[in-house]
């Protein structure tokens, strides 16, 4: 008997997701340190709409340009990305540790068109205290030359990209990179 289209999709989509996760998570974490053309260059600017929960502290939008002068952690994620679920609590903990030291974090939901409700659910699940925005058309992701999600960029106080991490970021990576940014 021929499988229905929804049944076929229900089998193929998880298989593709599993292969993607396998590709991101296999091997030595150092294998994921793919050089970025942005390293040593000014971070591409953006102004994106904030999720409502951050409006009291940040307004309606988050503009990267308004935060030059302080170290930045720019994390790209998507609601469908399983490794993003693994790193979210680690990012929240780092925000609680390094935010008071002057490091600004921003999460950018990308590759997730028209998934604002799913983004709200993701943010609430991990009670993310750092601002998160929606890159609905994934244009900021293009400007930052993403390979996929999750990816995390570290930007120094002058606004230059100094490091990039592909895959779920770990506490050790955050400590290493943020320690260097704060020196």
Reference 147, options 53, 63, 31; nearest CA is 31
Q: Answer whether the bond into residue 39 is a cis peptide, omega within 30°.
A: no
Tokens at 36, concatenated: 């970025």
Residue 157: pLDDT above 70?
yes
Asked whether the beta carbons of 68 and 157 are under 8 A apart, the reply is yes
- The string over 32-48, giving b where at least 16 C-beta atoms fall within 10 Å of a residue's C-beta and e elsewhere, is beeebebeeeebeebeb
The structural domains of the chain, with segments of one domain joined by +, span 30-182
- For the cut 70, the answer to whether the pLDDT of residue 21 exceeds it is no
- 29-63 pLDDT, tens digit per residue, is 554 556 778 999 999 999 999 999 999 999 999 99
Secondary structure class of 29 (helix, strand, coil):
helix
Fold of the domain built from segment(s) 30-182: Glutaredoxin (3.40.30)
How many CA atoms, within 13 angstroms, populate the side-chain half-sphere of residue 116?
11
Instruction: Give the pLDDT mean for 15-25.
Output: 55
């Amino acid at each position: 008997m021929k499988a229905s289209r929804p049944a076929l999709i229900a089998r193929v989509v998880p298989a593709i997701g599993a292969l993607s996760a396998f590709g991101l998570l296999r091997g030595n974490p150092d294998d994921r340190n793919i050089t970025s053309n942005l390293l040593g260059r000014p971070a591409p600017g953006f102004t994106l709409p904030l999720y409502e929960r951050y409006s009291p502290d940040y307004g309606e939008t988050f503009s990267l340009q308004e935060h030059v002068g302080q170290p930045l952690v720019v994390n790209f994620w998507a609601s469908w990305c399983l490794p993003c679920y693994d790193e979210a609590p680690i990012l929240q903990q780092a925000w609680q540790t390094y935010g008071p030291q002057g490091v600004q974090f921003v999460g950018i939901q990308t590759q997730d068109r028209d998934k604002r409700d799913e983004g709200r659910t993701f943010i609430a699940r991990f009670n993310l205290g750092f601002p998160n925005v929606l890159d609905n058309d994934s244009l900021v992701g293009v400007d930052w030359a993403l390979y996929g999600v999750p990816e995390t960029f570290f930007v120094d106080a002058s606004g230059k990209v100094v490091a990039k991490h592909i895959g779920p970021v770990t506490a050790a990576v955050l400590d290493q990179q943020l320690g260097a940014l704060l020196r």
